[in-house]
Amino acid sequence: MRGPERFKLAPRGVPKTSGIQHNQKPYLMISRSRRTHRQIWQLAWPMMLTNLSVPLLGAVDTAILGHLPSPVYLAAATLGASLVTLLLWSFGFLRMGTTSLVARAYGREDHDNSRLILAQSAVLGLLLGVSLAVLGRLLTPVALAWINPSEEVATLAQSYAEIRLLGAPAVLLTYALVGWFIGQQDTRRPLVILVSTNLLNIVLDGVFIWGLGLNSDGAAMASVVAEYAGLALGLWLLCKRLKGMGGRLATKHLTRPATYLPLLQVNRHLFVRTLCLLAVFVFFAAQGARLGDQVLAANAILLQFVLLTSHALDGFAHAAEALSGRAIGAGRRAEFFRICRASTIWALGMAVLVSLTFFLGQAWLLTLFTELESVLELASQYYLWVCLLPLVAVWAYQLDGLFLGSGKTAAMQYAMLISAGLVFLPLWWLTRGWGNQGLWLTFTVFNGARGLLMGAIFLHYSRAKTWVPAHPFVECDATPMIKRS
């Protein structure tokens, strides 16, 4: 007997024979499938809780500000947060790219490279964070002038954004830490970091907004304090993890700009893709602002449901990203496709559950955010879109994870550019006369177009067999990697 067959184990209770019996193959397939589902859930559930804490924070901000006497504070915080998010998530590759590279290094058991990627990402995060804190204050007035909200909203939004940008170094460094942990197949430490950060932020929201009466500025201050506290916690957890990890850091590479080129080359597509996505969100907010402060406030509430959707579904996308990257790093083609199938099944089930929850809980969910009747009435008119979005957007979210894990970031960039430039903008132009309904229709179709394009690319890569490069090792049950004999 040759190759990996000699390492296949007979199921318990079945006598070993001199050959491989036909009834063993289904057993092995079921065993591997169950293991894949278990691995996905082990990574997904901490990230789902982690991700849900992010929109929960936004929901609390919206609820607290939405219960103030005037909708101006809610509109200002929403607009200011959109601008800050655009700037910060433009560098979201520090999380996504780090995970992709580290997951593949993990599959190769290359601990030296894992340490180097972490250090390089941290250096980039610190430099970019400080630059944003300084230059972002100059860009905010320009962006607000383009959006052209009411004068009162513009003044408050600029103040909010300037305060929030003080936390940029902490946010970008945390991106690098979280990305590294996920690539190391560890989603529990990110859970501790981000949930602790967001819970502290929620507590400080009450102190600064209600206790000190700082309104939208108070929400910004609470975020900055919580972000630095979260970074401190993340660094402490990182030190504990590195003590038990092999490999060493080649510090000489940190002072040589040329050594950063591989990291920058991998992430340049993610930078363009993320910038384009966030530009769509800011454009959406800007068009809502031009329809009036009431519409802007209603959209702010509905966008909380959109963020809740994306963060709930991203739990399985993060799991797919980490596991598919590991499989590709180890050269395991069959495992990669098992991960694709299993993670997509769970993501679809979650999308259905989220849509049903939104649909059945409309009356209760909306009143959590505001008591202003005019805003509630407007939000109810457009609420059906947020019920539909999980079923439309799940494909793009899930494929993002698989493309990130495999390093196919160029495809992600082109799919986003086409969806934004050739679908979103033309459709918005055609439906301008429909007001906010047209805006939500355009946003929904944009998400569907992303999924369709990436699905077509996925099928192309699968037929061309370009997902997993040729590898001198084969998958085996007895040991993870066995050389062919």
- Averages of pLDDT over runs of 10 residues in the chain (485 residues) are 40 40 49 77 75 60 66 72 76 82 84 87 90 83 73 77 88 91 88 88 83 78 91 94 81 74 77 86 82 82 84 83 84 86 91 93 80 81 92 92 86 93 94 90 95 94 78 36 32
pLDDT of residue 16: 40
Helices (DSSP H) in 244-292: which residue ranges? 261-290
Instruction: Output the CA angle 167-168-170, nearest 5 degrees.
Output: 70
Residue 25 lies in a domain: no
Helix (H, G, I), strand (E, B) or coil at 465: coil
Residue 247 lies in a domain: yes
pTM: 0.73
Distance, CA of 83 to chain centre? 18
How many whole angstroms separate alpha carbon 416 and alpha carbon 453?
A: 9
Residue 268 lies in a domain: yes
pLDDT of residue 19: 39
Distance, CA of 352 to chain centre? 19
Q: Domain range spanning residue 409?
A: 35-478
- Buried (b) or exposed (e) across 323-350, using 16+ Cβ within 10 A? bbbbbbbbbbbebbbbbbebbbebbbeb
Q: Containing H/E element for 29?
A: helix 24-66
How many whole angstroms separate alpha carbon 431 and alpha carbon 214?
A: 39
Given the structure tokens 């038990």, which residue do they identify? 244
Helix (H, G, I), strand (E, B) or coil at 474: strand
Residue 316 lies in a domain: yes
Neighbours of 41 (CB within 10 A): 17
At 482, phi and psi to the nearest 5?
A: -130, 130
Residue 222 lies in a domain: yes
Q: Containing H/E element for 334?
A: helix 333-360
pLDDT of residue 191: 86
In the chain, how many domains are there?
Answer: 1
Residue 5 lies in a domain: no
Do 473 and 482 contact (CB within 8 A), yes or no?
A: yes
pLDDT of residue 293: 77
How many whole angstroms separate alpha carbon 110 and alpha carbon 322?
A: 15
> Bridge partners of 473?
483
DSSP for 466-482?
A: -SS---SEE--SSSS-E
pLDDT of residue 20: 38
Structure tokens at 324: 């598919």
Residue 20 lies in a domain: no
pLDDT of residue 479: 30
Do 324 and 406 contact (CB within 8 A), yes or no?
A: yes
Residue 26 lies in a domain: no
Strands (E), 141-208: none
pLDDT of residue 61: 65
How many whole angstroms separate alpha carbon 373 and alpha carbon 391?
A: 29
